[in-house]
Amino acid sequence: MLSTKTAPNQITLDNRASKTPDNVDIKAQRMGFEFDEQVPQYWMEESPFFSHLMNALSVLFPQGEQFFVDAVRAFRDDIDDPKLKAEVRGFIGQEAMHSLEHMAMNQHVRDRGMPVDDMEKQLNVVLNVAKLLPKRHQLAITCALEHITAMMADMLLERDDVREGMHETMRPLWAWHAVEETEHKAVAYDVFQQVGGTYAERTFYLVLSTAALGVVASYFTGRMVANDTKGFSITDTGKSLWRMWGKNGTFSTLIPTWFGYFKPGYHPWDNDNSELIARFKAEIQAYIAPEYQNGNRKTLQ
């Protein structure tokens, strides 16, 4: 019988193995979404405030996902599990595709007169501060933010009312993004576990990352609202905040899941929602631009 004892700094086989279900295949797919005059200015529930919030989140994705890729890539050579190695490659490719598609969306937002360039510069300053942290701490931040994006992805796929609140020109982008966030929701976490990440690190950085994300997203939303004085409405803002944080709100309902991260022994796939991937995958394939029907494996640099 194999001994259960391990030498110092040695990670057990059980800890280093990928926990992603075998029916989940993490592969990158370029979609080639286009955003033109058919996209209404207020595409999320016809609400100026809610639309500006979602636009602000989109501005975060390209640089934020590059940070995630760099954090995981820093430990790629420390991974022993072949399955996890393959999933890291898939993770990097998927995040690259998310970046490219949201850059296209962000250009559309920029063309609508929003100060996207300024916000990107400010986000770069924040991320450069985070890059001063030890590499494993950056990975802990990545795990925390992947937890938040996975929660939001699950909510979007589970709730018909949320998807139906999106204009049809925007819905495919966000549904596709949600599916892929669900597919790779445990990759950074499994890498973190393999390289000796601790409970204290991951929980501390969930609190810190949540606070930082809340401040930056709120500030970016505020900048867009201030830039759209004609669309501002106290009534709309109030309704949007209630829709997000009130009873059965899009964000308030995520609070129990957020706290689940503090459970000792927690793993992202404790909530096996892989059936959502199968449910939406075929629908999403219909939106792949013809030039990308055979796939695209361009990755972030």
For Cα atoms 24, 27, 28, give the angle at the middle one, nearest 5 degrees.
145
Spans of all domains in the chain? 41-287
Task: Give me 268's structure tokens.
Answer: 């992202």
Classified as helix, coil or strand, 44 is strand
**pLDDT(191) > 90:** yes
Residue of 262, 160, 252, 245 lying closest to 201 (CA atoms): 262
Q: What is the mean pLDDT of residues 91-95?
A: 97
Please report how the helices 135-158 and 274-285 are oriented relative to each other, as an axis angle in degrees rounded to 10: 70
In this prediction, residue 252 carries a pLDDT of 97
Instruction: Encode pLDDT of 252-294 as tens digits.
Output: 999 999 999 999 999 999 999 999 999 998 889 999 999 998 7
pLDDT value of residue 293? 84
Rounded CA separation 182/276 (Å): 8
Each residue's pLDDT tens digit, 122-160 = 999 999 999 999 999 999 999 999 999 999 999 999 999
Write the CA distances from 166 to 40, 41, 50, 143, 279, integer angstroms.
Answer: 10, 12, 10, 28, 19
Q: What is the number of helices (H) and of strands (E) in the chain?
A: 12, 0
Half-sphere exposure of 37 (CA within 13 A, CB side): 0
Contact by Cβ (8 Å): 147, 267? no
84 closest CA partner among 181, 35, 167, 19: 19
Beta bridge partners of 166: 44
- Torsion region of 246: left, alpha or beta (phi above 0 gives left; psi -120 to 50 gives alpha): beta
Candidates 35, 189, 181, 190; CA nearest to 94 is 181
3-state secondary structure of 27: coil
Q: What is the pLDDT of residue 134?
A: 98
Radius of gyration of the chain (CA): 19
Report pLDDT for 1: 32
Owner of token pair 């640099």? 301
pTM score over 0.95 = no
User: pLDDT tens-digit profile of 193-246?
Assistant: 999 999 999 999 999 999 999 999 999 999 999 999 889 999 999 999 999 999
Contact 82, 76 (CB under 8 A): no
Q: What one-letter code names the amino acid at 12?
A: T
Bridge partners of residue 44, in order along the sequence: 166
| Residue 41 pLDDT | 95
What are the tens digits of pLDDT across the range 104-118?
Answer: 999 999 999 999 999
